[in-house]
Amino acid sequence: MLAVGAAPAFAPGEVALAQLPREARETLALIKSGGPFAYERDGVVFGNREGLLPTRPRGYYREYTVKTPGVRTRGARRIVAGEGSVRDVRRSGEYWYTEDHYRSFRRIRE
């Protein structure tokens, strides 16, 4: 049982939503509401060529830009959303965060 006010423990490779940068939390809220998104490439298929996420059929994952303060380009931060069992990224519950342009991922736990 957790003590009052204690944060739940997360496994390695996971991150609590509250621990994400504000911009990542805002991006996740946009994903769940269906946009609008700031970048043309937001929502495109993420191919998982790095093989760091669970293997799924092509088209399962979609990527979204997480704004980086002070950076004029898209930067390195992304949220990758899986379609999950509901086949809809807005409700899938499968969200991954990378701050190093796909070199590592942490699953977002809400």
According to the model, what pLDDT value does residue 3 have?
Answer: 47
According to the model, what pLDDT value does residue 110 have?
Answer: 86
What residue spans define the domains of the chain?
14-49+59-109
According to the model, what pLDDT value does residue 2 have?
Answer: 43
**For domain 14-49+59-109, which architecture applies?**
Roll (3.10)
According to the model, what pLDDT value does residue 88 have?
Answer: 82
Quickly count helices (H) and strands (E) in the chain: 1, 6
- Using alpha carbons, list the distances in angstroms from residue 102 to 51, 106, 110: 10, 10, 21
Averages of pLDDT over runs of 10 residues in the chain (110 residues) are: 49 88 97 93 94 92 95 95 79 91 94
So which residues are the catalytic ones? 63, 101
